[in-house]
Amino acid sequence: MAKLTVVSGQGGKLPAAFLLEMHGRRILLDLGEGPQPGVKPDLSEVGSVDAICLSHAHIDHVGSLDLVGQLGSPLVFATGQTFGLIPEAVLPLERRLQLPVSGKTEISGLPVIVGRNGHAPGGIWFHFAGHGGVLYMGDWSAESLLLPFDEPPAAGCLITDASYGDFDEALSSQIGAIADFAAPGAVLCVPAGGRGPEMILALNGLGLEAIACPVVRREMQSLASEDTGTISAESRAAIAALLHAMPRDEEWSPNRVIVATEANAETGLAAQLLQRREEGFRFLFSGHVPAQTPAWDMLQRDEARWLRWNVHPRLQDTMDLVTRTGAEKVVAAFVRREEMPRLEQWLGGRLCRTRIIPLPVDRDPLLKAAE
Ligand SMILES: [Zn+2]
């Protein structure tokens, strides 16, 4: 029987790992850790898989690749940008099969369409044909000013990022509040491979001279130089112009607007400047803040601000996606049930509450014959 099994990712901000079984293939969708450090999926009942598909390189989607030995010897599929953020020691080159950022492709003999997810550079969603269509969104956003979002095809079964639950505020209204906080000088903490370049672009658009830490600068350089379809030609040109104008300011001072990794000031320039807090550096966090991180401690003590910068879908975005794809079964991932009462009510019988989701019998005779 074709089915989808939620290994991890349902019922809270948990690591992503979903097992898709169809046409005799076993495909694992993401293999994350956290975001709470040390939280890993239980793979004891997964068995060997044919392939692992990685949506993007954030730790809650790729952080458990060290457990791959429990899954046989699968090939791993992702885009070049995603692979570029995963060390060879974690995933040897001979295991990797590179995917395009959008268009038709094939994974373990199955026809698949991928598209850009608007959430991370090189991040993609996966659409598997057959059994009514299965669409795995990973994390996604339709609001990014920099990263394009490709419209996915219709699918009967949808696994979607519902991290924000019922939250429905627009990114456009959040940027002004962040710019106001940052104007006198601030350290804006961001994850590697995330919202850093977009933040710099937006804040400079509002007249703030935001500068990048070395990690975000390298991300901007690769976005400006790569012609892989990750971002538009206009965005590439805008980033190149910003890089050209940006001072190579290694003398970080508290009156500058500094966009710096890591997201919760665990490492990177954000952690270094945290050590120099008494010089007057002000800190802003804008994403999910796990407990026992420097960001968590500072926020508890009221020594930093938290203002959201949307990188996940709002309630309206999720409802639009469900409507447009025509999904009859929806896994609302990475969120606690208490945080989505409106979404739960709106989805009604379409919301999957069990870990195992049977997929309908294939109507396409060619695909059926291949089973
Ligand atoms: Zn992510």
Ligand 1 centre distance from Cα of residue 278 (Å):
32
Write down the domain spans for the chain: 3-166+311-370, 171-306
Assigned architecture for domain 171-306:
3-Layer(aba) Sandwich (3.40)
How big is the CA angle at 58 (ends 57 and 64), to the nearest 5 degrees? 85
The tokens for 109 are 């003999």
* Model pLDDT, residue 35: 87
Q: Among the CATH numbers 3.40.50.920, 3.60.15.10, 3.40.1280.10, 3.30.70.260, which is that of 3-166+311-370?
A: 3.60.15.10
Ligand 1 centre distance from Cα of residue 195 (Å):
10
* Closest of 37, 46, 29 to residue 13, by C-alpha: 37
* Model pLDDT, residue 367: 54
Q: Show the low-confidence residues of the chain (pLDDT under 70).
A: 249, 364-371
> Rounded to whole angstroms, how far apart are CA atoms 275 and 70?
40
- The per-residue pLDDT for range 171-207, each reduced to its tens digit, is 999 999 999 999 999 999 999 888 999 999 999 999 9
Ligand 1 centre distance from Cα of residue 366 (Å):
36
The tokens for 53 are 């598909």
* Model pLDDT, residue 248: 76
Bridge partners of residue 186, in order along the sequence: 257
Which residue is associated with the tokens 């074709």? 2
Which residue is associated with the tokens 């703030």? 208
Bridge partners of residue 75, in order along the sequence: 51
Ligand 1 centre distance from Cα of residue 88 (Å):
21
Ion ligand 1: residue ranges with CB closer than 5 A: 58, 139
Ligand 1 centre distance from Cα of residue 371 (Å):
33
Ligand 1 centre distance from Cα of residue 138 (Å):
8
The tokens for 224 are 């400006």
Ligand 1 centre distance from Cα of residue 361 (Å):
32
Ligand 1 centre distance from Cα of residue 280 (Å):
31
> Rounded to whole angstroms, how far apart are CA atoms 314 and 161?
10
> Rounded to whole angstroms, how far apart are CA atoms 87 and 115?
24
- The per-residue pLDDT for range 239-263, each reduced to its tens digit, is 999 999 998 767 899 999 999 999 9
Task: Give residues with Cβ within 8 angstroms of 71, minimum separation 6.
Answer: 28, 43, 46, 47, 48, 49, 52
The interaxial angle of helices 214-225 and 233-245, nearest 10 deg, is 140
